[in-house]
Amino acid sequence: MKKLKDFLLLSDRGYADLKKAILACTLTNLAMVLPFMVTVMLFKEILLYFTAGEINWQHMWLLWGAGIVSAVIVFLAAKNDYRKTYIASYKESNHTRERIAEHLTRLPMSFYNTKDLTEITTNMMSDCSAMESMLSSTIPPLIANMISSTITCLLLALFEWRLALCIFVTIPFAFMIIWASKKRQKKLFEKQVEEKLTASDRIQEYLEGMKVVRSCNMAGESFENLKQVLTRLKKISVKVELAVGVFMSSASMVLQAGIGITVFVGCRLLIQGKVELLTLLMFLLMATRMYGPILAILGQLSSLLNLDVVTKRMRTLLNAPEMSGNRPCTPGGSICLEHVSFGYNEEETIKDVSLTIRPGETVAFVGPSGSGKSTLTKLIARFWDVSEGRITYGGDDIRQLAPGGLMKNFSFVFQDVTLFQDTILNNIRMGKENATDEEVLEAAKKAFCDEFVSRLPDGYETVLGENGGTLSGGERQRISIARAILKDAPVIILDEATASLDPENEVFVQQAIANLSENKTVIMIAHRLRTITGADQIFVLEQGRVKESGTHAELLEQKGLYKKLFRLQNSMAG
């Protein structure tokens, strides 16, 4: 039972509630025995006619009364278990949702860069919903069925062991069939899942490559590919169903053979005078009812055994390590990288990089794509933790600093800007929680937001659509710069827009950046070399290493990679 708690990732409270829910369901099942008893009593009265030639109608009315009372009891029990299961499961999933959400706030930034964000959200909501329904309508009745079936078994066996044996003798065989087939079923399931994933990949590829599919008139090839995987998926799916069907059907056939055995053996025992007619009738009645719940157990047994699969994604999410560090952070120190190495996977992206950035400096990282420029800035802001060496800020290893405190020291201007469904004013206010409207407007002005906001119907009160809606790239970027201006952090990390804006927009963005970076330490990922000729330090990266460093003039003199790149670019731009 303890295992169940882990399987379902339940809290203590949730586990206690689940136990109560199971108990309530068991009570309902047991209450259902009452109508059964009354029915048996009715049989007894009717049998009197055959022995005494008369039925006691008075007794019949009494039994009816007893039946009504027992129905009320069943109702109360059912209502009780309904309340218990639903309240327990919804409260628990509420708790799980909160727990996951809270955990998400403590995860390192790297988590959000590696995982597909939509997948996380789907996880969070749909897995919780799946769990919710498991907790409310699958698990408690199932376990309650097991318990009450066992109790009934025992009671019946005490009452008349020979007939009880007839009813229950088939159960072990049925379970054995299911158990024996488990391996085969699992293999087929796995194969089906695999085919599903392949199909999913192919579909995605087909959809994403739609332009190419059309322009190359390749309805043939890519379609053939798609057809093949879909056909394979179809075949394996039929196989799985066939296997499951065969095993389930034969198991339930074996199980229900108990009815025939009971009838046959029971009658013999009756003739031999070893059992009463009433007892036989009771068992016959039992035989028609007993197998339903057991079949339900059989059907759901495999899903119960594979419970951990359901919670696997949630478990991965909850087990993702939180960010460490708790020391307070003093702003304004130097940033030092000491023999830093790092890789997103086995392959190292950054190899043994050492450098120092002093407060107030403007430094630039340049190099071909994939050389590690943006990785370096991410390491500095601790989106990722380094795998070797260390990064210090004001002398402290950044891994020891409280994550929130460290983050206060950085502002970012990246190309992809996340905006919220809120007013422009509030989107900018992100930068500083309790900033007054005046402060926000001041920052917006410095970031040249006025220019386009004045053209919007409600000005700064305009509510943006999902992720910014209709704003252009340059406009979104200016909002993000306004945020950064408001935040007023000592270090600015700037990813020079690689996406070209139209020239007018670009002028505004550039001026906004100039306002932002006044008197700040600026770390910039540069793509166009002429924008960084005035930088204090330029680091030229190649394949994760610092190849050259120095000022623009020094680097040109070195006649290395920098000079070559600079030449190339100048020749193109003309």
Partner 1 sequence: MSQKNKKNKKKNGLARCLEIAAKRKPLVILSAVLSSIAAICSFVPYLAIYCVIREILMVYPDLNRLNTEAIRLYSVWAMLGIIGNLISYFLAILCSHIGAFGTIYDLKIEFADHLARIPLGYHLSIGSGKLRKIMEGNIESIEGFLAHQFPDFVASVTSPIVMVILLFVVDWRFGLASLAGIIAAFVAEFMGYGSGEMKNTMQQYQDALEDMNNASVEFVRGMPVIKIFGKEESSFERLKSAINKYTDWVLKFSLGWQNCMPAFTTIVNNIYLFLIPVGILVGRNAKDPKMFALHFVFYLLFVPAIAGILNKIMYVSESFMEINNNVARMDEILYISELTDNGTKVPAGCDVRFENVSFSYEGRTEQALKNVSFQAQEGQLTAVVGASGSGKSTIANLLSRFWDIGEGSIKIGNTDIREISQEELMKTISFVYQDTFLFKMSIADNIRLGRRNASDQDVMEAARQAQCHEFIMQLPDGYQTVVGSSGVHLSGGERQRIAIARAILKDSPVIILDEATAFSDPENEYLIQKSFENLTKNKTVIMIAHRLSTVRDADRILVMQDGELVESGNHEALYEKGGRYRKLWDSYAQTLEWKVGETA
| Residues between 486 and 545 with contacts to partner 1, criterion CB under 8 A | 487, 494, 496, 498-507, 510-511, 513-515, 517-518, 522, 524, 526-536
State which of positions 30-69 bind partner 1 (CB under 8 A). Answer: 32, 35, 38-39, 42-43, 46-47, 49-51, 55, 57, 60-61, 63-64, 67-68
State which of positions 215-234 bind partner 1 (CB under 8 A). Answer: 215-223, 226-227, 230-231, 234
Residues 487 and 565: their CA atoms lie apart, in Å, by: 35
Helix boundaries (H) for 321-421: 373-380, 403-407
Beta strands in 97-222 (DSSP E): none
Q: Counting contacts by CB under 8 A, is residue 270 touching partner 1? A: yes
Q: Are strands 350-357 and 335-342 parallel, antiparallel or unpaired?
A: antiparallel
Residue 148 exposure: Cα atoms within 13 Å on the Cβ side: 25
Q: Counting contacts by CB under 8 A, is residue 431 touching partner 1? A: yes
State which of positions 17-36 bind partner 1 (CB under 8 A). Answer: 32, 35
Contact (Cβ atoms closer than 8 angstroms) between residue 124 and residue 105 = no
Q: Which of 150, 316, 356, 418 binds partner 1 (CB under 8 A)?
A: 418
Residue 470 C-beta: closest distance to partner 1, Å: 9
Residue 252 C-beta: closest distance to partner 1, Å: 6
Contact (Cβ atoms closer than 8 angstroms) between residue 202 and residue 229 = yes
The values of phi and psi at residue 288, to 5°, are -75, -15
Lookup: tokens for 22: 């199971």
Q: Which of 15, 412, 460, 539 binds partner 1 (CB under 8 A)?
A: 412
Q: Counting contacts by CB under 8 A, is residue 553 touching partner 1? A: no
Q: Which of 4, 173, 209, 556 binds partner 1 (CB under 8 A)?
A: 209
Q: Counting contacts by CB under 8 A, is residue 133 touching partner 1? A: no
Residue 502 C-beta: closest distance to partner 1, Å: 4
State which of positions 141-200 bind partner 1 (CB under 8 A). Answer: 196, 199-200
Q: Counting contacts by CB under 8 A, is residue 568 touching partner 1? A: yes
Lookup: tokens for 565: 């790149």
Lookup: tokens for 522: 């600026």
Q: Counting contacts by CB under 8 A, is residue 281 touching partner 1? A: yes
Residue 159 C-beta: closest distance to partner 1, Å: 19
Torsion angle of C-alpha atoms 49, 55, 56, 59, degrees rounded to 10? 90
Residues in the chain: 574
Q: Counting contacts by CB under 8 A, is residue 328 touching partner 1? A: no
Q: Which of 30, 157, 243, 285 binds partner 1 (CB under 8 A)?
A: 285
* Strands of 537-542's sheet in order across: 410-413, 491-495, 521-525, 362-366, 537-542, 545-550
State which of positions 335-394 bind partner 1 (CB under 8 A). Answer: 362, 364, 367-371
Contact (Cβ atoms closer than 8 angstroms) between residue 233 and residue 195 = yes
Closest to partner 1 by CB, 218 vs 338, is 218
- Residue-wise DSSP of 308-319: HHHHHHHHHHHH
Residue 531 C-beta: closest distance to partner 1, Å: 5
Closest to partner 1 by CB, 16 vs 125, is 125
Q: Are strands 410-413 and 491-495 parallel, antiparallel or unpaired?
A: parallel
Residues touching partner 1, count (CB under 8 A): 173
Contact (Cβ atoms closer than 8 angstroms) between residue 129 and residue 93 = yes
